[in-house]
Homo-oligomer: A and B are copies of this chain.
Amino acid sequence: MWTLKMVGLGALALSLSLEVLCRLFHRLRPVKALNEVHFFPSEVACVERIFTPSSTHLCSCPLPHGVDTSFSRLLRHVLSASSSMDLCIFSFSNMDLCRAVLALHRRGVTIRVLTDKDYAAITGSQIGALRKAGICVRCSVGSGYMHHKFTVLDGRLLITGSLNWTLSAVQGNAENVVVTDQPELVQPFMKEFHRLWELNEPAGNVSTRANHR
């Protein structure tokens, strides 16, 4: 009789401890990281619905509608920012991406843009439009290009790759964009942004750019 009780209690203790450990294991297991790669050139499609998802108005433009493309995914990630956007971009002339950044600015997202001094002034650059809207923009100074093409959103999501934010890059070139929320990748980029932001503080800087490609 006692032996039976002992075995029963032992089994109970074992199953309880298994249950506790399984729950602990599930709680400790990290949430699956976001790791996406998007390739360009992107198919061309209407992105109006991405900017006005709740609108009942149907866009009548001749582009394909309701198509999920590399560019629409990139736009959605950019528009997902809710508190901050740190953007480090060599060339920025894409009007849809500019519209997305301006939309974030209107929503109260804190935006900082660091860009290349030479490319900020080229025809079609949207840097002037960002500045005009009151967004804080700094231009790199120094002898080399500010050749990055990355943004960190809300201090948690990194978008980086070969893609400049231009129409020809999106629709014409072979390009890549990595989207990740892995701290091991996000944090170095955040740190580098802060470093470059301070380094390119406007006051007291003198450009010494040489003839680099």
Contact = CB atoms under 8 A, between A and B. Distances in A.
Nearest to A16: B14
Given A144-B168, A148-B162, A162-B148, A173 B10 contact: no
A113 to B, nearest CB: 14
Contact of A173 (B91, B147, B168, B171): B147
A189 interface: yes
Interface stretch (A73-81, A130-138, A174-182): A174-182
Interface in A136-151: 140, 142-150
Q: For the complex formed by this chain, how many copies does it contain in all?
A: 2
B148 A176 contact: yes
A188 B10 contact: no
A180 to B, nearest CB: 8
Contacts of A146: 173-174
A162 B116 CA distance: 14
